[in-house]
Amino acid sequence: MHQPDNTTRDMLGRSKNVSLGKALLALQKHIKPFSTDNETVPLDNGLHRITSHPIKAPEDLPPYPRSTMDGYAVRASDTFGASQNNPAYMEITGEVKMGDMPLIRPAPGTCFKISTGGLIPPETDSVVRLEDTVNIAEDMIEIIRGVAPGINVIGTGEDMRKGEIQIHLGHRLRPQDLGLLAGLGIKNISVKQMLRVGIISTGDEIVPFDEEPAPGKIRDMNSVVLAGFIRKAGAIPKYYGIVPDKESDFHAAAKTAMEENEIILFSGSSSVGIRDMGVKIIESLGEPGVIVHGVAIKPGKPVIIALCNGKPVFGLPGHPVSATVCFEMIVLPAIKLMEGSFHSFLPDKKMIKGILMRNIPSAGGRKDFVRVKVRRKKDNKTFQIDPVLGKSGAISTMVKAHGYLVINESIQGLSKGDEVEVELF
C-alpha cells in the first residue's frame, strides 16, 4: 500500500504527514502476528516469554481435596447449628500428617486435627477453623461456629480441571503463570522465539560511542538507546555498525540485517543525501517498500515506515530524542503486533495526573510528546508537572524527564493550571 500522498517531491516528509493513528493502522494491515518460530525452554527461563500454544491442565489440581485452613476435619452435619452460645463438643481422634494420604476416617461424631494443605480424610467434607474452636481438654474441642459441606476445603480439580485451557496462545508469561505450570508438573514450555531487531546507524558524522570522535564527529547514541528499548520490549538487538555515506556499504549492511532479523531499524544521519539513499535502499529490500513517510508527531516527524517481504523496516530520525519517540510510538506497537501478545486492551503505560505549571504551545493537527518532570507537592499527594526545557535534540532532556505529556492533534497547546496526565517512562 504505497502512499505517494504522504511523500513530498524530495521524500523529506515535510508536507502532509499522516497522523500517528493512520500510520499505525497502515502498519497493522501489513503485519502478521506470531511471525517467529517456536522454541522450547525450561520453565525456569519462561518469564516474559510468549506462549506458542494454548496450555491445558494435564491433570486435576488439586488431585485430592485439601484443607485451606488450620483446624479440624469434620463431617459438616456434626456441626450444624453450633455457635458461641450453643457450641458442639467433639473428640479429636487423630491428626492428618502433612504429605500423607489419610486412609483412616475419623469415627462418627469425632474429628481429625489438620493443617492447611492437609488432605481431607475419608467421610469428612469440611474443616472447622482453629479460631472457631476452643480447646477444653487435650483431645476435646468446643466448636463455636458450624460449617457447611465444602467449607475450608479445596476440592479435586477446583483449582484446575483436567483438559481445561489454563493459559492462552500468545500470552506473555508472568510469575504466577509459571507457578501454575509448575503446579501441573510442566517442565518445558513451547514459546515464540524472541524477535530480533537489527540496528544500522548511518552517517559520516557518527563514530562508535567507544571511540574518540574527531572534531565535527559525534558519538553514536542512537544505537545504544535503541538497543536498550529493544531489550526492554523483550526482543534481541543486534548492531550492524555505522554505515558511511556510501551506497554499496549501506546496501550490504541492510541485506545482512534483513536476513538475520525480523525487524530492521535504520537510525542516524538526518542529512538529506543519506535520507534519500536510505529510502532507495529500503525500496530495494522488498515489497511493498515505504508505506508511510513522515508522521504528524513532534518530535519524530521524518520517520519512515516500510515493509519489505513481510518485515517491518523503520527509518528513524537522527536525534536520540526523536528516535526514542518514534521507537516507543511506532516500533513498539509493531513488536507487539508481531508477537501477537494478548491483553492488549489493557493500558500499557504507568500514568500520573498532575497540575501543569507552565503554558505549553502546540500546533493543531500534530501529536506532541513533551518531556516533563514530575514533582510531588509536600503538603499532599498532588503532582506538579513541568516541561523539561532544552533543545529537542538534547538527550539530557530525556534523562531529566520522568515521562511524556502527550498533546493530541485536536488541541492547540495547554495552559498553566490545567490538569494533565503524564505517561511515565
- For residue 288, the minimal CB distance to its own copies (Å) is 27
- For residue 287, the minimal CB distance to its own copies (Å) is 30
The count of chain residues that interact with its own copies, using the rule CB under 8 A, is: 105
Among 3, 26, 70, 355, binds its own copies (CB under 8 A): 70
Indicate whether 187 belongs to the interface with its own copies (CB under 8 A): yes
- How many of the other CB atoms lie within 10 Å of CB of 366? 19
Indicate whether 222 belongs to the interface with its own copies (CB under 8 A): yes
Among 13, 118, 146, 278, binds its own copies (CB under 8 A): 118
Q: Which is nearer to its own copies, 291 or 323 (CB)?
A: 323
Among 13, 87, 94, 102, binds its own copies (CB under 8 A): 102
Distance CA 269, CA 342 (A): 36
Maximum Cα–Cα distance across the chain: 95
Tell me if the bond preceding 62 is cis, omega within 30° of 0.
Answer: yes
Indicate whether 21 belongs to the interface with its own copies (CB under 8 A): no
- For residue 102, the minimal CB distance to its own copies (Å) is 8
Q: Which is nearer to its own copies, 151 or 264 (CB)?
A: 151
Ramachandran assignment for 109, one of left (phi > 0), alpha (psi -120 to 50 degrees), beta (any other): left
Q: Which of residues 126-145 bind its own copies (CB under 8 A)?
A: 130-131
Q: Which of residues 276-315 bind its own copies (CB under 8 A)?
A: none
Indicate whether 216 belongs to the interface with its own copies (CB under 8 A): yes
Strand segments (E) across 43-109: 55-56, 66-67, 71-74, 88-95
Indicate whether 39 belongs to the interface with its own copies (CB under 8 A): no
Indicate whether 62 belongs to the interface with its own copies (CB under 8 A): yes
Report in angstroms the alpha-carbon separations of 412 from 87, 297, 386. 72, 14, 18
Indicate whether 246 belongs to the interface with its own copies (CB under 8 A): no
* DSSP SS3 for 4: helix
Q: Which is nearer to its own copies, 415 or 424 (CB)?
A: 424
Among 68, 77, 256, 384, binds its own copies (CB under 8 A): 68
Distance CA 321, CA 43 (A): 38
Give the burial class of 86: count Cβ atoms within 10 A of its Cβ; 0-12 exposed, 13-18 middle, 19 or more buried: exposed
Report in angstroms the alpha-carbon separations of 300 from 19, 129, 279. 12, 62, 16
Among 226, 305, 331, 385, binds its own copies (CB under 8 A): 226
Q: Which of residues 322-351 bind its own copies (CB under 8 A)?
A: 324, 343, 345-351
Q: Which of residues 189-208 bind its own copies (CB under 8 A)?
A: 203-206
Smallest CA-to-CA distance from 179 within 163, 159, 194, 197 is with 159
Indicate whether 217 belongs to the interface with its own copies (CB under 8 A): yes
Q: Which is nearer to its own copies, 14 or 255 (CB)?
A: 14
| Bridge partners (DSSP) listed for residue 242 | 201
Q: Which is nearer to its own copies, 18 or 57 (CB)?
A: 57
Contact between residue 146 and residue 83 where contact means Cβ atoms under 8 Å apart: yes
Q: Which stretch binds its own copies (CB under 8 A): 281-289, 318-326, 356-364, 410-418?
A: 318-326
- For residue 139, the minimal CB distance to its own copies (Å) is 17
| Bridge partners (DSSP) listed for residue 258 | none
Contact between residue 125 and residue 150 where contact means Cβ atoms under 8 Å apart: yes
The secondary structure element, H or E, covering residue 289 is strand 288-293
